[in-house]
Structure formats: structure tokens, C-alpha cells
Amino acid sequence: MGYLFLAGAIFSEVIATLSLRASEGFRKPLFVAILVVGYLASFALLSAALQRGVPLGLAYGIWAAIGVALVAVLSIPLFGESLTGVQVAGLVLVIMGVVALEMGAAEH
């Protein structure tokens, strides 16, 4: 159940971060409202995941890695941004690091 809350935290954080970009420097009130609610929801859901036994280091690693990857990928169609090969390699390394954290936790 904790990982469902973590998924919700990631989803909320991604929506909030994309809204931060869409707010154009806090000039679009709808997107500002979405980003505030999104970040508040994200931290509340992350807290719920931690209370249900998801280890902090693992939860934060998953949250950060998936959040960064989703924002980077979704920024391409939404905002016309691009990713270089080096950036894609960096995202892969971040995800591999989270997988290593998970594997290390399983050994513990």
C-alpha cells in the first residue's frame, strides 16, 4: 500500500512541476494553484508512503528518479523541449541508481 501512496506522490509532483513551467513565472493563476496543490499533495502522499513502511532512502530515490525522468520526457511534447544523448544517458544512470538502491535493500 505504501508504494501506491508513493506513486501518487510522484504523479502529484510531476503535475506540479509541469505547472510551474506552464505558469510562466507565476503569471497564470490557474497553473500557480495547480502547482501549490500538487506539491502539497505530493509531500502528504510521500509522508503516507513513509508511514506505511517504505524506507526513506528508497522512497526518495524512486520519487526523484521517476519524477525527473517523467518531467524531462513530458516536457518534450508539452513545451517543445528536447533531450540530448548525454541527458538521456544521465536519466538512465539515475534510474539505474534507484534500481541499485532497491537491490541493496532486498539484501539487507
More confident residue, 108 or 60: 60
Which domain, by its residues, includes 90?
2-107
Short-list 14, 13, 29, CA closest to 75? 14
Structure-block grid coordinates of residue 49: 508512503
Q: Is the pLDDT of residue 105 over 80?
A: no
More confident residue, 18 or 97: 18
Residue reference for cell 522512497: 59
The structural domain count of the chain equals 1
Question: How many other CB atoms sit within 10 Å of the CB of residue 69?
Answer: 19
Contact between residue 14 and residue 69 where contact means Cβ atoms under 8 Å apart:
no
pLDDT digits (tens, 9 = 90+) for 42-59: 999 999 999 999 999 889
pLDDT digits (tens, 9 = 90+) for 71-82: 999 999 999 999
- pLDDT-derived band at 95, boundaries 50, 70, 90: confident
Short-list 58, 88, 86, 94, CA closest to 72? 88
Report the pLDDT value the prediction gives residue 41, as an integer from 0 to 100: 98
